[in-house]
């Protein structure tokens, strides 16, 4: 059954408006702060020696390997904190016990191994799909969208069973969910690019770097928060129609 994307977005907006006082501190600490820290202290990717020259694949791969190696601890911090923060938000609205923030954090901690395993498996599947042919990888991005929600909302399921459940709930809606994510992703990337330009124009000025990092963190945190709320309402819509 097709999900009503208007209802999904409207429900997420309603959650934000009614619960923003609760959501802002969680998003600030777990979704925004890691990006701010990483933006300030991460080693930047290598600049192209000649932007007009055609890209050399071996050089690009070598540069990416060096970037990941130099920033692995920051990348891990962003991943772990972002995944945990998303779990807390999902638990607040999808756990049947109606938990407090402290209780939601305990729920997210208990389910964190399943969330992490699902993240690794899903990202591996997406990368394989992108490498094999672009369309399968993009389609996978839409199909895996509700796996974290299934992991949190249905704790009796094991990690593999919850992943299967998440795929079941998105059947027939992969492209629509991909498009929904893409809107928020590209909006965030535009803001992050503007923040990067601002920082570059500041020529290393600490104030410019700090402001650029805050803008990038807000954009990335806002996108992650939007995804979490969309997962809540999309999961509710899917389970209401599919059971």
pLDDT in tens, 76-117: 888 999 999 999 999 999 998 889 999 999 999 999 999 999
Which residue range(s) make up the domain with 130? Answer: 5-41+56-242
Task: Judge whether 202 lies within some domain.
Answer: yes
Task: Judge whether 160 lies within some domain.
Answer: yes
pTM of structure: 0.88
Buried b (16+ CB within 10 A) or exposed e, 164-202: ebbbebbeebbebbbebbeebeeebeebbeebeeebeee
Question: Mean pLDDT over residues 170-177, rounded?
Answer: 94
The pLDDT score that the predictor gives to residue 56 is 57
The pLDDT score that the predictor gives to residue 203 is 64
Domain count within the chain: 1
The pLDDT score that the predictor gives to residue 58 is 67
Task: Judge whether 51 lies within some domain.
Answer: no
Task: Judge whether 99 lies within some domain.
Answer: yes
The pLDDT score that the predictor gives to residue 145 is 97
Task: Judge whether 220 lies within some domain.
Answer: yes
Task: Judge whether 203 lies within some domain.
Answer: yes
Question: Mean pLDDT over residues 205-232, rounded?
Answer: 91
Question: Mean pLDDT over residues 63-88, rounded?
Answer: 85
Task: Judge whether 49 lies within some domain.
Answer: no
Task: Judge whether 47 lies within some domain.
Answer: no
């Amino acid at each position: 059954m097709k999900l009503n994307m208007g209802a999904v977005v409207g429900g997420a907006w309603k959650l934000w408006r009614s619960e923003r006082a609760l959501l802002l501190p969680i998003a600030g600490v777990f979704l925004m702060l890691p990006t701010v820290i990483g933006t300030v202290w991460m080693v930047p990717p290598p600049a192209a020696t000649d932007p007009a020259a055609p890209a050399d694949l071996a050089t690009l791969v070598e540069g990416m390997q060096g970037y990941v190696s130099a920033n692995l601890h920051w990348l891990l911090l962003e991943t772990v904190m972002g995944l945990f923060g998303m779990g807390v938000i999902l638990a607040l609205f999808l756990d049947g016990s109606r938990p407090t923030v402290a209780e939601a954090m305990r729920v997210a901690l208990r389910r964190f191994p399943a969330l992490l395993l699902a993240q690794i498996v899903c990202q591996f599947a997406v990368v394989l799909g992108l490498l094999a042919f672009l369309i399968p990888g993009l389609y996978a991005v839409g199909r895996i969208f509700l796996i974290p929600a299934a992991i949190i909302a249905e704790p009796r399921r094991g990690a593999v069973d919850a992943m299967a459940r998440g795929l079941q709930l998105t059947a027939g809606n992969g492209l629509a969910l991909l498009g929904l994510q893409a809107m928020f992703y590209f909006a965030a990337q535009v803001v992050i690019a503007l923040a990067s330009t601002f920082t570059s124009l500041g020529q290393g000025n600490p104030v410019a770097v700090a402001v650029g990092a805050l803008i990038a963190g807000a954009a990335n945190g806002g996108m992650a928060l939007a995804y979490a709320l969309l997962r809540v309402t999309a999961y509710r819509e899917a389970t209401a129609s599919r059971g």
